[in-house]
């Protein structure tokens, strides 16, 4: 491999992203609302592309690829459950969340605390939601930096720490220059590179194997790799697969509990444009998920001994073995783009929690907002350097924790329920405790822990409502 050419193409793509992000500073209005929500005037196409690029992050390139490499065709059940759950969340929540955002708050926790039509603000709920967001989003951000580090380590033989540092520097520049607008603009460009990188690798891999039929034949020769149903489930066969998919449906629905993704829809220019944004989002999502699954399965042929390396390195190793040097750099840029598109969003959401939710009054001074953002970036970098290194586990831990805390409350809101602040807090804590306990017991290997977590929060509301204890009804936001 020509390392110099790979590095040049990689750096060239990153410089383009950097220029796009920095140029967003010209559109800045110098307010907290603009820094965190782009003044709520983002076009639906940009919202859709940005949200899906943020959702399909280093987890997709590194974590999910490793899972597909190990599981084979049965990974389809994860994809099916996830996308259906995500679509259900979009149909139920997104439009009403955007309408609720019009009340004038700049953070996800702020929307949860001011959802009601009378504009009442629940200070304790807001601070608790901000604290939960901060803890789990920091974990999530560190996972993105680790994902980028692993790719650079394999393709350029850089030390693992160097990729995390580079990612943190670039994320800091994005967030410092234009806030959420910089993140959204670069997301749109990065989403194109991500698709191009994955499509290039899939086509090259299939051609090198002699065509699609030859590739499938070689996959069938691997014991259990082309089985439709996962083998390691408590209940084998279609019943176990359906339960597995049901668990991942809750994982897909859990998108409503992810502040860094939901702020994209909160920034939409008009709630009535949510359908257009949804089209952009799901067309890209389905195409990319299909390509990623195909490449993950191909990697098992090219890297036949799963016991000799970290499965999460399957994609960069496959790229290094198949592609010309220039395209290796493009694929590397696609991986790094994916990690950055999510990491900068996570960092901004953490910054919003500190400056908008913990503070007794909204902070508008731009230098304070940017200083908080840089501080959060530094914390995420330290966690990436010295914390756990498994991207898939870190992302799922953060994803399920946020979902279990916030998804039940949002679902109750959009369906017209109005719990008191005390019950809302109980719902959040119960969902979070059950999800974390489920994972601590190791039961996530049977059912994704977000499912019992979300159900626990809803159960608390149902019990308190049945008892008539502090639960009111309210008309749905229209």
**Straight-line distance from the first to the last Cα atom of the chain, in angstroms, rounded to the nearest whole number:** 58
Q: Once rounded to an integer, what is the mean pLDDT over residues 459-473?
A: 78
Mean residue pLDDT of the chain comes to 83
Q: What is the pLDDT of residues 198-235, one digit of tens each?
A: 888 889 889 988 999 999 999 888 888 888 877 666 56
Could you say which DSSP state residue 254 is in? G
Which of 311-320, 328-337, 417-426 is predicted with the least confidence, judged by mean pLDDT? Answer: 311-320
Task: Supply the pLDDT for residue 295.
Answer: 86
Q: How far apart are CA 175 and CA 182, in angstroms?
A: 7
Strands (E) located in 309-435:
417-419
Q: Is residue 142 part of a domain?
A: yes
The single-letter DSSP state of residue 215 is H
For tokens 């789990």, the residue is 136
Strand partners, 417: 473
Look up tokens 């950097």; give the residue: 18
Q: Would you place residue 42 in the very low, low, confident or very high pLDDT band (cuts 50, 70, 90)? A: very high
* CA atoms in the 13 A half-sphere facing the CB of 329: 17
Q: How far is CA 235 from CA 85, 88, 185, 239, 244, in A?
A: 22, 26, 45, 7, 9
Q: For residues 178 and 36, give the distance between their C-alpha atoms in angstroms, rounded to a whole number.
A: 9
Residue 76 inside a domain? The answer is: yes
**Taking the model in full, what pTM does it have?**
0.84
Average pLDDT, stretch 267-294?
91
C-alpha to C-alpha distance for 311 and 301, rounded to whole angstroms: 13
Helix, strand, coil abundance in the chain, percent, nearest 5: 80, 0, 20
Neighbours of 38 (CB within 10 A): 29
pLDDT above 50: residue 475: no
Residue 309 has pLDDT above 60, yes or no: no
How confident is the model over 397-414, as pLDDT tens digits?
888 899 999 999 999 999
pLDDT bucket at 347, cuts 50 / 70 / 90 = confident
Span 19-47, average pLDDT: 86
Q: How far apart are alpha carbons 407 and 150 in whole angstroms?
A: 31
pLDDT at 61: 62
pLDDT over threshold 60, residue 374: yes
Of 421, 395, 397, 396, nearest to 409 by C-alpha is 421
* Residue 278 placed within a domain: yes
Residue 291 lies in a domain: yes
Is 54 part of a structural domain of the chain? yes
Residue 144 is predicted with a pLDDT of 79
Q: Which two tokens stand for residue 100?
A: 């609720």
Is the residue at 35 inside a domain?
Answer: yes
At residue 476, does pLDDT exceed 60?
A: no
Is 464 a member of any domain? Answer: no
Tell me how far apart the alpha carbons of residues 38 and 89 are, in angstroms, rounded to a whole number. Answer: 23
Which pLDDT score, from 0 to 100, does residue 311 have? 62
Domain contains 97: yes
Q: What is the CATH number of the domain that holds 185?
A: 1.20.1730.10
Chain segment 229-270, per-residue pLDDT in tens: 776 665 667 777 787 788 788 888 989 999 989 999 999 999
User: How far apart are alpha carbons 24 and 32 in whole angstroms?
Assistant: 15
When pLDDT is cut at 50, 70 and 90, the band that residue 391 belongs to is: low
At 161 the pLDDT is: 86
DSSP 197: H
Cite the beta strand spans of 335-411 per DSSP E: none
Number of alpha carbons in the 13 Å side-chain half-sphere of residue 26: 6
Say how many domains are in the chain. Answer: 1
Q: How many helices (H) and strands (E) does the chain have?
A: 21, 2
pLDDT for residue 170 is more than 80: yes
Which domain covers residue 199, as residue numbers?
3-403
- Give the chain's largest Cα–Cα span: 70
């Amino acid at each position: 491999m020509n390392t110099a050419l790979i590095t040049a193409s990689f750096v060239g793509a990153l410089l383009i992203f950097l220029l796009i992000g920095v140029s967003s500073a010209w559109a800045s209005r110098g307010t907290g609302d603009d820094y965190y929500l782009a003044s709520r005037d983002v076009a639906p196409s940009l919202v859709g592309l940005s949200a899906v690029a943020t959702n399909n992050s280093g987890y997709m390139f590194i974590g999910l690829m490793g899972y597909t490499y190990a599981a084979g065709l049965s990974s389809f059940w994860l994809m099916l459950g996830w996308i259906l759950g995500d679509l259900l969340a979009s149909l139920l929540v997104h439009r009403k969340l955007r309408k609720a955002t019009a009340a004038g708050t700049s953070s996800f926790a702020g929307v949860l605390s001011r959802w009601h039509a009378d504009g009442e603000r629940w200070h304790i709920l807001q601070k608790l939601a901000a604290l939960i967001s901060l803890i789990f989003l920091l974990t999530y951000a560190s996972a993105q930096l680790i994902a980028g580090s692993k790719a650079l380590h394999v393709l350029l033989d850089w030390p693992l720490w160097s990729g995390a540092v580079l990612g943190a520097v670039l994320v800091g520049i994005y967030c410092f220059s234009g806030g959420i607008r910089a993140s959204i603009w670069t997301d749109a460009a990065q989403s194109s590179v991500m698709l191009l990188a994955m499509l290039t690798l899939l086509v090259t891999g299939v051609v090198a194997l002699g065509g699609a039929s030859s590739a499938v034949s070689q996959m069938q020769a691997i014991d259990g790799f082309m089985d439709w149903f996962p083998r390691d489930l408590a209940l084998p066969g279609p019943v176990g697969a359906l339960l597995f998919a049901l668990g991942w449906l809750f994982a897909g629905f859990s998108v409503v509990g992810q502040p860094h993704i939901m702020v994209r829809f909160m920034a939409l220019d008009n709630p009535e444009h949510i359908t257009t944004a949804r089209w952009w989002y799901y067309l890209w999502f389905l195409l990319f998920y299909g390509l990623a699954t195909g490449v993950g399965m191909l990697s098992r042929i090219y890297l036949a001994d799963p016991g000799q390396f970290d499965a999460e390195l399957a994609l960069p190793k496959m790229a290094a073995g198949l592609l010309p040097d220039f395209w290796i750099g493009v694929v590397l840029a696609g991986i790094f783009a994916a990690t950055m598109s999510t990491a900068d969003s996570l960092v901004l959401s953490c910054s919003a929690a500190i400056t908008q939710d913990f503070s007794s009054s909204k902070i508008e001074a731009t230098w304070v907002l940017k200083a908080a953002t840089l501080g959060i970036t530094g914390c995420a970098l330290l966690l990436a350097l010295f914390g756990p290194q498994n991207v898939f586990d870190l992302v799922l831990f953060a994803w399920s924790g946020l979902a279990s805390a916030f998804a039940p409350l949002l679902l109750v809101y959009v369906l017209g329920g109005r719990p008191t602040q005390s019950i809302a807090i109980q719902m959040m804590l119960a969902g979070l405790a059950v999800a974390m306990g489920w994972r601590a017991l190791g039961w996530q290997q049977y059912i994704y822990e977000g499912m019992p977590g979300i159900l626990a929060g809803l159960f608390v509301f149902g019990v308190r409502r049945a008892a008539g204890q502090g639960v009111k009804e309210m008309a749905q936001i229209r």
